[in-house]
Amino acid sequence: AQSVTQPDIHITVSEGASLELRCNYSYGATPYLFWYVQSPGQGLQLLLKYFSGDTLVQGIKGFEAEFKRSQSSFNLRKPSVHWSDAAEYFCAVGPLRPGGGNKLTFGTGTQLKVEL
């Protein structure tokens, strides 16, 4: 069965500091990996996705993530955090294929707090 682990429940960083959010997955095939962000009272917004190819993927809002197959990890990074980045971040894994199969397995999330 597929699973996603986000080891850090809460993270606090100072504005302007760098950020890394950890994600480890377990999946029996080539995974499709995603990072979503959720602001309070909002739905989920896709930050970036990895399907294949270059293991370093760029996303929106200055985020990037690196897929490391040997470590079963897909960590999210940002060089300089802005106060507006405070939100909850979810890593997800799943197969997406034409015609169906949009089942994503999400981690439990990491709550990011940004100190000014």
Provide the binding-site residues for another protein, judged by CB under 8 A.
4, 32, 36, 41-46, 49, 51, 90, 92, 95-109
15 versus 106: smaller Cβ distance to another protein:
106
36 versus 67: smaller Cβ distance to another protein:
36
61 versus 103: smaller Cβ distance to another protein:
103
Comparing CA positions, the residue from 56, 29, 35 lying closest to residue 106 is 35
Q: How far apart are CA 38 and CA 15, in angstroms?
A: 19
Cβ-in-10-Å burial (0-12, 13-18, 19+) of 115 comes to exposed
Q: And the tokens for 52?
A: 């294949």
